[in-house]
Chain A
Amino acid sequence: MAGSISVIGRTTRVHGRVTGAVDLEVQGFVEGDIAVGGDVTVDVHGMVGAGVRGRRLVVRGAVKGDLVGEEAVSLEDGARVVGDVRAPRVTIAPGALVRGFVQTGEAVESPSRAARPQSAARPASPAPAKTMAAPPARAPAPTPVAAVPAPAAKPAVRQTEAMTAVGSVTANSLPRRPPPPVVPALKKAKGQVAKRKER
């Protein structure tokens, strides 16, 4: 009878941590950390007073804590979040209210799951701190591990100089999407986007 999803009911208050390898739906009040391996939904009446970690987070209620999604975080109309938001994909619908630092494109390790097989297949990121997102469907050809991104990525080489923090946009990390618009090195003079020498 108890299905694969756990539910904190509307009048339920939990003062403590919630962990596990399952999906969770919060309709009531949770005061401690939530760290699960599955998806977490905070309903419109749900309230969480600490951080939430999961695979995919959907928030329609109130959260005072950081939201860290291994795959995605989606804040829907009605959401009120004070805290940081980190996930490879972040969606914020009109009507969602946020106050905090938001970072997309970061690969986050699940708290209750070992490294996924895909991680092993992924070409090693030259700058692990930069956390290239590792989405499942990667179209571009495998890239050399070396510090220089694949030549096939065309303009991507220059990206690293101009806008390093914007999701580490290089060919490696782009999921089934055409390369982003090039931001020519704006410090460069005049209209030409010359290749810069490697540092």
Chain B
Amino acid sequence: MASTVIGAGITVEGDITTDEDVVVAGTVRGKLSAKEGITIEHGATVEADIVGGSLTIAGALTGNVTATERVDLQSGARVIGNVKASRVTIADGAQFKGNVDMDV
């Protein structure tokens, strides 16, 4: 279903913008912005601010997270940064350090 897949061996250094879904299993350094969903898989490394509709994070992310819908941190996620979304869930086992802003 995802239209853009940054696979496990790929590294993107720069800005990514898209109207579609994005799945990141590799490495992204820069900025990531999608209109739909962003999934950061377990094993992925993201050093970027990410902006999207619905964000699912199971990997390592350093950066600010902004979602128009929801942010889900799954078990295995390691997030350092601020999260801004009207709905936020942090699963058991997820590691998180930052602010959460649900006043959207």
* A interface, CB within 8 angstroms of B: 1-24, 27-28, 31-32, 36-38
Task: Name A112's closest neighbour in chain B (CB-CB).
Answer: B9
Q: Does B15 reach chain A (CB closer than 8 Å)?
A: yes
Question: In the complex, how many angstroms separate the beta carbon of B28 from the nearest chain A beta carbon?
Answer: 9
Are B7 and A15 in contact, with the CB atoms below 8 A? no
Instruction: State in angstroms the CA–CA spacing of A27 and B20 once bound together.
Output: 12
Are A13 and B10 in contact, with the CB atoms below 8 A? no
Are B7 and A5 in contact, with the CB atoms below 8 A? yes
Which of A5, A10, A16, A37 is in CB contact (< 8 Å) with B12? Answer: A16
> B interface, how many residues as a size bin?
20 to 34
Are B20 and A12 in contact, with the CB atoms below 8 A? yes
Most A CB contacts (10 A, CB to CB) among B16, B20, B22 go to: B16
Are A6 and B22 in contact, with the CB atoms below 8 A? no
Are A5 and B14 in contact, with the CB atoms below 8 A? no
Are B3 and A12 in contact, with the CB atoms below 8 A? yes
Are B18 and A12 in contact, with the CB atoms below 8 A? yes
Q: Does B13 reach chain A (CB closer than 8 Å)?
A: yes
Other 5 A-B pairs with CB < 8 A, given A17-B13, A19-B10: A6-B6, A12-B17, A13-B15, A13-B18, A20-B10
Q: Which residues of B contact A36 (CB under 8 A)?
A: 9-10
Question: In the complex, how many angstroms separate the beta carbon of A29 from the nearest chain B beta carbon?
Answer: 9
Question: In the complex, how many angstroms separate the beta carbon of B18 from the nearest chain A beta carbon?
Answer: 4
Q: Which residues of A contact B30 (CB under 8 A)?
A: 15-16
Q: Does B101 reach chain A (CB closer than 8 Å)?
A: no
Are A12 and B16 in contact, with the CB atoms below 8 A? yes
Instruction: State in angstroms the CA–CA spacing of A11 and B9 once bound together.
Output: 22
Are B20 and A9 in contact, with the CB atoms below 8 A? yes
Q: Which residues of B contact A8 (CB under 8 A)?
A: 4
Assuming A6-B26, A9-B20, is B8 touching A16 (CB within 8 A)? no
Task: Name A4's closest neighbour in chain B (CB-CB).
Answer: B7
Task: Name A16's closest neighbour in chain B (CB-CB).
Answer: B14
- Residue pairs across A and B with Cβ atoms less than 8 A apart, 5 shown, are A6-B6, A11-B3, A16-B12, A24-B10, A32-B13
Are A1 and B18 in contact, with the CB atoms below 8 A? no
Which of B10, B17, B18 is in CB contact (< 8 Å) with A6? Answer: B10
